[in-house]
Amino acid sequence: MEYDVEQLKNLGIDIQMGYDYTGGQDKYISALQRYYKSSDRNISRINEYLNTGDTENLTITVHSLKSNSKMIGAARLSSEFETLENALRSNDMDTVNDGIEQTMEDYVRLIEALKPLGEQDTFMAAGEITADEAKDTADKLFEALDEFDDILAAKLAARLAGYPFRITQRDKLREAADNINNFMYDEAAELIREIYREIE
Amino acid sequence: MKPKILITGKNSRIVENIADHMEADQGYRVRKCPADKYDIQDEIREIEPHIAIICTFDEDTESIKEYDVLMECNHFAGLPVIVVANKEDVNEFKSKTRLHEMYFLPRPVSIVALYNKLFEIERELGLDYEEEEEEKEPEEPEYRRYRDDEPRIKRKHILVVDDEFEQLAQMREFLREFYDVTCIRTGPEALEYIENHHIDLMLLDYMMSKMSGPEVLYQMRTKRAYANIPVIFLTGMTDKETIVKTLVELRPQGYVLKPVRKSDLIARIIDVLG
């Protein structure tokens, strides 16, 4: 995949720090993709927690963003999240209110820069399979999910994509594959159950 | 294999008799020691017994409190202790001691009663190997045979628990070269997983929303079956006081600060697993 990580330096990202934490360029790219993919959820949660005054969950979210930002070399952004975290822990809402807008702007700016990388489609189906093979694959997929075996579950989900599902089921399968990548086993199983009924 | 037994107490004659009988007749691995806090502590650290036997004699408050050092064994799970005591001394003993898992046998102790109690405890601990069985490899679930591209080498199994999928994915990337890795996002799922699966180490996020890392570890330490699973906390907390307090109370095998470098993580794991 073509993505020039060097452009991130313009946003103050320390690429070398990112390589150090993640273990090399390929792994750094994967980490950037994951960072991007979690952004919608993080932004939505932060807005929700700010609106509801849920400082406990806001602290947890900000705490995670502090570590994850540092992991990709966004040291300044990590430091901003750390300031917010410390303010939340000491109930200093003035500092939180003063700093949250700028921090979120910086976060969104980084996410925008990662968009071309983050939106690359990595879910690819294996070869075409019959209905019997699809059912068998789905059964094995349930077992893998029960066992929290995300690697095998991902392979089986890719194999299952070889069945000619309708668009709605295909989207559900894609969502299930995303859930598997995010280690959300129960959610993935629920979607697979819905898809299973459509296998003829 | 028979469990390791530590026998102590002021009734040294009974200590000797029981120890000799257990070793010769039943093949237990037995260690005797005087009823002294420091001697008992040394033995705990050296042999890590599964069960202790206290043979009491004319105990007072001070001498009963010497035995509290047995709490050091097995962290939170506690050490099962058989107390051989006169009936009239049982309540006194219970009121003065901090030990909580005790089985009382009356004096004079019947060796049959003692063995019955030991067998009962061994069954509970899962240590009752009646015959020397060859340890069979657990049968692989059928679906796993589908993983035909995976090497069939026995590797240590690490469970990573973190509510952030980015951290889970990163840990997986670091560790998969050397270990079998399972990734789970919540404390309750992790506790469910270890009920049915063997793991060699848990990397446990400190701050999670559904059930925090310390809560997960507390649950583990109070269940004998997983009390001894080594745990390393993953924490982004820079508050050293809080971290140290948790270390003292719950005794994980250590912690690493997130984000962690691969080399630091592997080094810490090697420290624990070898």
Give the model confidence (pLDDT) of A27-85 as tens digits: 899 899 989 989 999 999 999 999 999 998 899 899 999 999 999 999 999 999 999 99
For the ranges A24-38, A78-92, A117-131, B107-121, which has the lowest average pLDDT?
A: A117-131
**Cβ contact (<8 Å) for B165 and A38?**
yes
pLDDT at A2 (0 to 100): 61
Contact list in A for residue B143 (CB cut-off 8 A) is: 139-140, 143-144, 152
Question: Residue B149's pLDDT is what?
Answer: 47
Write down the pLDDT at residue A92: 94
> Using 50, 70 and 90 to split pLDDT, how confident is the model at A126?
low
Mean pLDDT value across chain B: 82
Tell whether A135 is within 8 A of chain B (Cβ): no
In this predicted structure, what is the pLDDT of residue B274?
A: 77
Whether residue B169 lies within 8 A of chain A, CB to CB, comes out as yes
The pTM is what?
0.63
pLDDT of res. B127: 65
B183 touches A: beta carbon within 8 Å: yes
pLDDT at site A94: 94
Is the predicted pLDDT of residue B203 greater than 90, yes or no?
A: yes
* Mean pLDDT of all residues in B51-76: 83
| pLDDT tens-digit map of B211-269 | 999 999 999 988 878 888 999 999 887 666 677 777 777 778 888 888 888 888 998 89
- Tell which wins on pLDDT, B147 or B176: B176
Q: Per-residue pLDDT for A96 more than 70? A: yes
The identity of residue B231, as a single letter, is V
Question: Rounded to an integer, what distance in angstroms lies between the CA atom of residue B29 and that of residue B8?
Answer: 14
Mean pLDDT of chain A: 90
What are residue B255's DSSP bridge partners?
Answer: B233
* CA angle at B205 for the pair B271 and A74, rounded to the nearest 5°: 95
Residue B235 token pair: 């924490």
Question: Is the minimum CB–CB distance between B271 and chain A shorter than 8 Å?
Answer: no
- Buried b / exposed e over B127-137, threshold 16 CB at 10 Å, is beeeeeeeeee
Q: What is the chain B residue with the closest CA to A62?
A: B236
Query: Looking at the predicted structure, is the pLDDT value of residue B177 above 90?
Result: no
Put simply, whether B173 touches A (Cβ < 8 Å) is yes
Q: Is the peptide bond before B259 cis (omega within 30 degrees of 0)?
A: yes
Tens of pLDDT, residue by residue over B5-31, are 999 999 888 898 888 888 877 778 899
Interchain CB distance below 8 Å, A185 and B182: no
CA angle A104, B174, A124 (to 5 degrees): 75
User: Which residues of chain A have a CB within 8 Å of the CB of B144?
Assistant: 149, 152
- Whether A124 shows a pLDDT value over 70: the answer reads no
Q: Which of A67-71, B66-70, B139-143 has the lowest mean pLDDT?
A: B139-143
Residue A111 pLDDT: 95
A143·B143 Cβ contact <8 A:
yes
Q: Give the closest-approach CA distance of B43 to chain A in angstroms.
A: 40
Q: What is the pLDDT of residues A175-192, one digit of tens each?
A: 999 999 999 999 999 999
Query: Residue B169 is nearest to which of A34, A148, A185, comparing CB atoms?
Result: A34
pLDDT band at B47 (very low <50, low <70, confident <90, very high): confident
Rounded to whole angstroms, the Cα distance separating B81 from B64 reads 13
Higher pLDDT among residues A39 and B150, named by residue: A39
Residue B144 has pLDDT above 60, yes or no: no
Does B207 reach chain A within 8 Å, measured CB to CB?
yes
What residues have CB less than 8 Å from B2, skipping those under 6 apart?
B26, B27, B28, B29, B127, B129
Helix segments in A72-183, DSSP class H: 75-89, 93-118, 131-146, 150-160, 167-181
Put simply, whether B272 touches A (Cβ < 8 Å) is no
- Statement: residue B44 has pLDDT above 70: yes
Find the helix packing angle between A25-37 and A93-118, rounded to 10°.
Answer: 120
Chain B residue at shortest CA distance from A73: B259
Is the per-residue pLDDT at B150 higher than 50? no
Of the listed ranges A133-137, B72-76, B101-105, the one predicted with least confidence: B72-76
Q: What is residue B236's predicted lDDT score, i.e. its pLDDT?
A: 81
| CA atoms of B206 and B192, how far apart (whole Å) | 18
- Residue A4: helix, strand or coil by DSSP? coil
A176, A191 Cβ separation under 8 angstroms: yes
CB–CB of A23 and B260 under 8 A?
Answer: no
Q: Nearest 5°: CA angle at B140, between B199 and B175? A: 40
Look at residue B78 in the predicted model and tell me its pLDDT: 62
CB contact A25 to B (< 8 Å): no
Q: Do residues A36 and A114 make contact, with C-beta atoms less than 8 angstroms apart?
A: yes
- Per-residue model confidence (pLDDT) at position A44: 94
- Asked if the Cβ–Cβ distance from A23 to B174 is below 8 Å, we say yes
Mean per-residue pLDDT for A9-17? Answer: 89
In this prediction, residue B184 carries a pLDDT of: 96
Is it the case that residue B51 has pLDDT exceeding 80? yes
Residue B147 has pLDDT above 60, yes or no: no
Average pLDDT over residues A88-101: 93
Test B262 with A23 for CB contact under 8 angstroms: yes
A164 touches chain B (CB under 8 A): no
Q: What percent of chain A has pLDDT over 70?
A: 96
Residues of B in Cβ contact (< 8 Å) with A150: 183
Q: Do A150 and B183 touch (CB under 8 A)?
A: yes
In angstroms, rounded to a whole number, what is the distance separating the alpha carbons of residues A3 and A166?
Answer: 33
